[in-house]
Amino acid sequence: MLPDDPLSPQSNDSQKRMLTALGVSFAAITIYMMFLAPSAPPAPEAGTADAGVAAVGSPDGGTPAAPPSSPGGTPELAAGQSPPEPEAPVRTLERSRQEAKYSFSSEGAAFASAVLQGPKMREQQSLSIAEGYKELFGAELLPPPQMNLVQPVPGQPMPLSISIEGTAPLPANARYQVQEEGEGTVIFTTRRGPWEVMKRLDWPQAGHELTYTVQVRNTSSQPLTGELRMHHNRAIDPNFEHAPSFFGGVGNQSRAACHVGDELHKRVPEDEATETFSGPVHYFGIDQQYFLSMLYPLEAPREGHCVLTATPTVRQVAVGFPLTVGAGETVTMRFGGWFGPKDPDLLKPVPSQDVLRAAGMASAAWDPTIEETVDFGIWAVICKLLLFFMKWFHAVTGNWGVAIILLTVLVKLVLLPLTYKSMVGMEAVKELQPQMEALRKKFADDRERMNMEVMKLYQQAKVNPLGGCLPLLIQMPVWIALFTALRNSFDIYWEPFFGPVWRDLTYKDPTYLLPLALGVSMIITQKMQPQMMDAAQARIMIWVMPIIFTLTLLQYPAGLSLYIFTNNLLSIGQQWGLRKWLDHQKQKRGGGGTPAVAAATGGKRK
């Protein structure tokens, strides 16, 4: 599923959609009403689920060329070259751990599957409205399948297989002998042409890390050059993946990803099908919304190139590293790997000491920073602050929905002084309406003069006509940051609110009850606010903005709808309480309105 580079086009597109949905629906309408039309009311207006890479045996992507043969049909051996091993039968090897169940194939010495274990390690469920209401009334639906991070594509090289390109090619589907060393180590070996290849996989006692060591020995009497190519891939089941859209939700597309040089490059089907990036390779693999399958060089970024391919049914990465091996010499490449959730707290210490020990290293030579695949984009500071408080509230209550509600209360308390000031300003503008109407009639034929006189009236009363919008405008970055946190935080993924329906706060509400309640509460909130415009403009603000918000949030995370709905309920209570307070203050002044308005209008009004 997904992370992302903070400045990646895909991440920024999702954030821009959210910014547009919230900002345009309120800010643009409000600014238009207040500045552009103050005098007159405007008129209303592939089949398997997770892995596969195209065979890259030759430069044109075809099958690697066979080694030259003698007239009798037997491959010729260079001087000192070892004879090939007899073709071994294909063998499947399984390893079951607390975190995942792995299976490997001796064909390519590669992954056949990596099925994560645990209630949260599942595909994101897609429910219809009918299924949502069935759950609401007690029906039990089958849960989605466990997340399988590597599942091969028929006819393609297996995930994490290798090939060698050049004058002495090694195919990606070469068969290997298997040697098991306990539950934590598997060794694959093969001999083909001048090459002896050993691949070793080691796992720590717990966790989602692994060590992946590749040794290539030149058994010939001549130095050899070429390219070692590593294949990593995933087949996509369209039933468990959808692209983001404005009214269609945030999406959960997998991306072929490779961090080359200073940038993390990603590809989804909407991009160019295939693209190549050259430079120091930091890490590469498949990046999904809440899960990650990545490899990275342990010693340092390794010079090479990445070929990223994305089609509707396949994401694949082919990474090439230059290979030069002298006669009788061995080249060793060590990689660390992560096959698990995109949790920054788990990714930050990667590589762990267990992984380094398995690779024969005393300490980390560098930090691959794969935790940066968790993408909060330009909202990172606010996202991390919100997650800090939500995690604290969750530690106290044990429920992420309650944590979101308490976060809403906290933000509301922080903004209370600003809200009070805003309501005072709105009341002041409301009391200026008679003077504003008089100015509109007086300068009906001189729009520019009318606007100047209206602004002069505002300045004399020391009020801001947009002051009432300020609390909501300040809330927008919080909403966008919470949206971004929900679509990137594995902590909240597959975490429920109350009841069987809202069992994943990062997914939409399948009953649409939360966004509909949000829309109704927003209408009530708008009706309770002092109206600073004429009746037609006020109707647009009361009805149009809530409808746009509701339609937009139908497909967005339930946690975001819960936050805004709670915020609206608190605003209703807050407005009622502040209105009572302002009326009391007004009575103490003898009904003369705010001091600023009284001064602007020449005294107290009776």
State the Cα–Cα distance between residues 598 and 606, nearest whole angstrom.
11
Q: For residue 217, list its beta bridge partners.
A: 196, 330
pLDDT (0 to 100) of residue 305: 97
pLDDT (0 to 100) of residue 81: 52
State the Cα–Cα distance between residues 432 and 465, nearest whole angstrom.
10
pLDDT (0 to 100) of residue 35: 47
Counting as low any pLDDT under 50, the low residues of the chain are 1-11, 26, 28-29, 32-80, 596-601, 603-606
Pick the CATH number of 97-134+148-375 from 1.10.760.10, 1.10.3110.10, 3.40.50.300, 2.70.98.90: 2.70.98.90
Sequence-distant (≥ 6) Cβ neighbours of residue 413 within 8 angstroms? none
| Burial environment of residue 89 by CB neighbours within 10 A (0 to 12, 13 to 18, 19 or more) | exposed
pLDDT (0 to 100) of residue 40: 40
**Six-digit token pair at 272?**
């160019």
pLDDT (0 to 100) of residue 404: 97
What pLDDT digit, counting tens, does each position of 92-131 carry? Answer: 999 999 999 999 999 999 999 999 999 999 988 788 899 9
State the Cα–Cα distance between residues 190 and 514, nearest whole angstrom.
58
Q: Where are the alpha helices (DSSP H) in 462-534?
A: 470-486, 513-528
pLDDT (0 to 100) of residue 412: 92
pLDDT (0 to 100) of residue 594: 53
State the Cα–Cα distance between residues 377 and 333, nearest whole angstrom.
33
Side chain identity, residue 120: K
pLDDT (0 to 100) of residue 154: 78
SS3 at position 499: coil
Q: Where are the alpha helices (DSSP H) in 143-190?
A: none
State the Cα–Cα distance between residues 253 and 269, nearest whole angstrom.
9
pLDDT (0 to 100) of residue 137: 87
pLDDT (0 to 100) of residue 54: 32
Site of tokens 């103490």: 588
Q: Are strands 110-116 and 100-105 parallel, antiparallel or unpaired?
A: antiparallel
State the Cα–Cα distance between residues 549 and 541, nearest whole angstrom.
12
Peptide bond into 351 cis (omega under 30): yes
- Domain ranges within the chain, ordered by starting residue: 10-37+379-596, 97-134+148-375
Q: Where are the alpha helices (DSSP H) in 324-466?
A: 344-347, 353-358, 380-397, 400-414, 416-431, 433-442, 447-461
State the Cα–Cα distance between residues 102 and 117, nearest whole angstrom.
11
**Six-digit token pair at 349?**
């210490």
State the Cα–Cα distance between residues 457 and 453, nearest whole angstrom.
6
**Six-digit token pair at 329?**
């010499």
| Burial environment of residue 441 by CB neighbours within 10 A (0 to 12, 13 to 18, 19 or more) | exposed
State the Cα–Cα distance between residues 114 and 105, nearest whole angstrom.
12
Name the packing angle between helices 447-461 and 433-442 (round to 10°).
160
Contact criterion met (CB below 8 Å) for 493 and 120: yes
pLDDT (0 to 100) of residue 418: 84
What pLDDT digit, counting tens, does each position of 356-400 carry? Answer: 998 888 888 899 999 999 989 899 999 999 999 999 999 999 999
What pLDDT digit, counting tens, does each position of 29-41 carry? Answer: 455 444 444 444 4
Measuring CA to CA, which residue among 564, 565, 561, 569 is closest to residue 506? 561
Using alpha carbons, list the distances in angstroms from residue 388 to 384, 413, 414, 506. 6, 17, 16, 17
Taking the CA of residue 153 as centre, how many other CA atoms within 13 Å lie in the half-sphere pointing to its CB?
23
State the Cα–Cα distance between residues 151 and 170, nearest whole angstrom.
23
State the Cα–Cα distance between residues 580 and 196, nearest whole angstrom.
84
